Structure 1
Amino acid sequence: MNIPPRKRKKATSTSSDLQPVANPQDFSHQDNQDVVTIDVPAVEVPELTPEEQSDRLHLERKVERAFFEAGKALAELRDRRLYRSTQRTFEEYCKDRFGFERRHPYRLIEAAVVVDNLMQMCPIGTQIEVDSSDGQQQSVGTQIEIESSEQQMCPIGTQVLPTSERQIRPLTKLEPQQQQEVWQQAVQKAGGKVPTGKIVKDIVQRIMERTQVPNTYQLGEVCQILAKDNPELRGKGGCWAIVTQVNEFTCTVRTWDGELTVGLKHLKSYEYLPEDCQQMQEVCDRISRVYSSGLEESVQKFLESLGKLKRAYLTDLEEKVLGVLELEINTEN
């Protein structure tokens, strides 16, 4: 059967659907007619008041020296052994309390020493302003009296200081005078701003290349620490230490109370035989365990004296006293 074709329905539209086709020229004309100029009033940013400027400077300095304050606090925690009630060693304490890996707290401590040294470049004979403990600025003359941690940082405009530990990590390999010189060069290269760690590292590398001395120390070697006007080694002069890491220009060494990084010129090998070095390693472990146990101050002094021995063995009396101390801490535990 043939199906008849369907008829198409005619499209219908209302009057509202029918729009005249616009002439392109009309658009151009209409656009020109609809251009409207809008006046936007300028917003004036008010200047900071003297009090706000002081607050800003005070808060900026807190941010800048966060790592510095951390390093100073860690150094005091370590030196006063304030961890002894909960942990046996400083490294264990930093790991459990702050989540710091083994080297990080020592890097912060070393960085704080560098910042202390850099702050010595502040001119003392000129009139400057420093922050007081209440955040207000006070003017001082030729004598600067530092009464709080708020006053220890050099004011902005007088000296640019580091804002992170990484920026000055390369400086820990240098002598105090070299640290100051390199930092000044780095600030100049950064256009008067805080230099990056890479800028500082490049300058240090050039100095090292000019004065490079081959590092011949070996892991486990027993050396004597030579303080030689290095404030970082205060109290360590004459102590023996065991090399735990050989770096390009420094060695990381272990003493009875922790690790530190020492420049090659501050080390002198005892040239012990391998078996003597092994024996000193065992003595170091024993002294460290007793030292970190928190016994009386007189005991600590005895242990510190063992840390300055210039021989690779303990006398019979020293061995007996150390054995008694080991027995004591084992009994307490």
Structure 2
Amino acid sequence: MNKPPFKRKKDTISTFSNPETPSNSDIASSEDPASATIDVPAVEVPELTEQEQSDRLFLERKVERAFFEAGKALMELRDRRLYRSTHRTFEEYCKDRFSYTYRHVNYLIAGSVIVDNIKMGTNSSQNEKAEEKGTNSSQILPTSEVQVRPLTKLEPQQQYEVWQMAVEEAKGKVPTGRIVKDVVQRIMERTKLPNTYQIGEVCQILAKDNPELRGKSGCWCIVVAVHDFSCTVRLWDGELTVGVQHLKSFDYLPQECQQMQQVCDRITRLQESENLEEAGRAMLKYLGELKRSYLTDVEEKLLSVIEQEYGVTD
């Protein structure tokens, strides 16, 4: 026998109204519902006490110094090799512990050094000059590594001077990275020379239509001498002089350039070995075409094996 279909009992909803709250009907019955207003009592915001103002300033300073403190800490971790009990390389340690890329770590470290240079650049004569202009730019420091990134290739004194100019352009406030970059660009354009490369800078070879550079396109090189319109550079297989039109900077940070210099020195010592076999030369050629400033674990192991095989070690 079929049972009759189940019928769900309708839920009942009780409606409660607040006598102090105007209902829809009250609003609808007004002459102009659109002009109806609801009075909201003003909330009085208490002023900060002297202690709260002091706490706020203290916490703001901690936020502003965050990247600076991080860079200083990372530098000490690297220089003292405090990662060695758990990781073979500083790069691996930063990636596992902080999820930082190696390039980001280098930017933080370089940024902390620049902040120190800006602080050191503050002397009595420059303070007097700032006071004459009615500003106190010497007390304004970077709050982000992005703001000082354009200063990495400048000398310490230039870093200070450019930062002061950027602060003035920002009307006494912390300048953005874009403002700092624009100031650096204008200075470079005013003092533009035929050759702006620096000794130790890591560049890429652009062969273009130069037959003398055949087989070297894309290889990295290190500038060892600067001439009017050319540079003498060191590659994985020797030195040569290259016109500035055939060079492109990798824009590596100073620390990255030092790393590449160490790799270059190791390759050069192996190249001088008379018994180096073809397999070894192939490995060195591969390393000479890297597009990064460090060796992977496998590359480091292979290079170490070759060095041990030919007795070329530090």
Provide TM-score, normalisation by structure 1.
0.49
Contact 2:150 2:184 in 1 (8 A): yes
**1:209 pairs with one of 181, 184, 189:** 189
Distance 1:70 1:92 in 2: 17
Aligned residue for 1:137? none
Amino acid at match of 2:196: P
Match in the other structure for 1:109: 109
Residue 166 of structure 1 is aligned with which of 143, 146, 156? 146
CA shift for structure 1 position 119: 2.3
C-alpha distance 278-44 of structure 1, shift in aligned 2 (>3 A): farther
Q: Which residue of 1 aligns with 2:67?
A: 67
Task: Provide the C-alpha distance between the structure 1 equivalents of 2:223 and 2:57, rounded to a whole number of angstroms.
Answer: 48
Task: Give the match for residue 48 of structure 1.
Answer: 48
Letter in 1 for 2:158: Q
Q: Deviations over 1:231-279 (max 9, x none)?
A: xxxxxxxxxxx88996277776554xx469xxxxxxxxx9x9x966855
Bigger Cα displacement from structure 2, 246-255 vs 111-120: 246-255
How many Å apart are 1:166 and its aligned residue? Answer: 0.6
Q: Take 1:220 and 1:123, find their aligned partners in 2: how far apart are those partners?
A: 39
Give, as a single letter, the amino acid of the residue that structure 1 aligns with 2:150. Answer: P
Corresponding residue to 2:178 among 172, 183, 198? 198
Compared with structure 1, are the counterparts of its residues 254 and 91 closer, same or farther at alpha carbon in structure 2 (3 Å cutoff)? farther
Is 1:84 the counterpart of 2:67? The answer is no
* 1:105 positional shift: 0.9
3-state SS, counterpart of residue 102 of structure 2: coil
Are the equivalent residues in 1 in contact too, given 2:137–2:168 (CA < 8 A)? Answer: no
Q: CA deviation at 1:223?
A: 4.7
**In structure 2, what is the equivalent of residue 96 of structure 1?**
96
* Counterpart residue type for residue 156 of structure 2: P
CA distance in 2, matches of 1:222, 1:88: 30
Mapped partners of 1:42, 1:106: distance in 2: 51
Cα shift at 1:88:
2.2
**1:129-148 aligned within 5 A:** none
CA contact under 8 A between 2:106 and 2:253: conserved in structure 1? no
Q: Are 2:177 and 1:175 aligned?
A: no
Amino acid at match of 1:84: R
Cα drift, residue 45 of structure 1 = 2.4
**Structure 1 CA distance, aligned partners of 2:88 and 2:272?**
22
> What are the within-5 Å matches in structure 2 for residues 288-299 of structure 1?
none
Taking the aligned partners of 1:182 and 1:68, their CA distance within structure 2 comes to 19
User: CA, structure 1 residues 74+31, in 2 after alignment: closer, same or farther (shift >3 Å)?
Assistant: same
Q: Is 1:186 the counterpart of 2:166 in the alignment?
A: yes
Could you say if the C-alpha distance between residues 210 and 122 of structure 1 is closer, same or farther in structure 2, counting changes exceeding 3 Å? closer
CA distance in 2, matches of 1:157, 1:188: 7
Deviation at 1:192, TM superposition (A): 1.7
What is the RMSD of the two structures over their aligned residues, measured on CA atoms? 4.6
- For normalisation by structure 2, the TM-score amounts to 0.51
**Deviation of 1:201 (Å):** 0.3
Tell me, which stretches of 5 or more residues in structure 2 are unaligned?
Answer: 1-29, 126-135, 204-219, 226-233, 237-246, 274-282, 288-293, 296-306
**What is aligned with 2:243?**
none
Instruction: State the 1:80 CA deviation.
Output: 0.5
User: Is the 8 Å Cα contact of residues 166 and 197 (structure 1) preserved in structure 2?
Assistant: yes
**Any stretches of 5+ residues in structure 1 without a counterpart?**
1-29, 126-155, 225-241, 261-269, 290-313, 326-333
Please point out which of 246, 249, 254 is paired with 1:247. Answer: 249
Change (3 A) 1:197 1:277: farther
Q: Aligned equivalents of 1:278 and 1:220: distance in 2?
A: 15
Any idea what SS the aligned residue of 1:173 has?
A: coil
| Distance (whole Å) between structure 1 residues aligned to residue 223 and residue 39 of structure 2 | 80
- Tell me, in whole angstroms, the C-alpha distance in 2 between the residues paired with 1:184 and 1:198: 15
Q: CA deviation at 1:210?
A: 2.7
Write the letter of the residue equivalent to 2:179. Answer: I
- Looking at structure 2, the residues matched to 174 and 67 of structure 1 have their Cα atoms a distance apart, in angstroms, of 20
Which structure exhibits the higher relative contact order, with contacts defined as CA atoms closer than 8 Å and separated by 6 or more residues?
Answer: 1
Query: Offset of 1:71 from its aligned partner?
Result: 0.2
- How many residues in Structure 1 have an aligned counterpart in Structure 2? 204
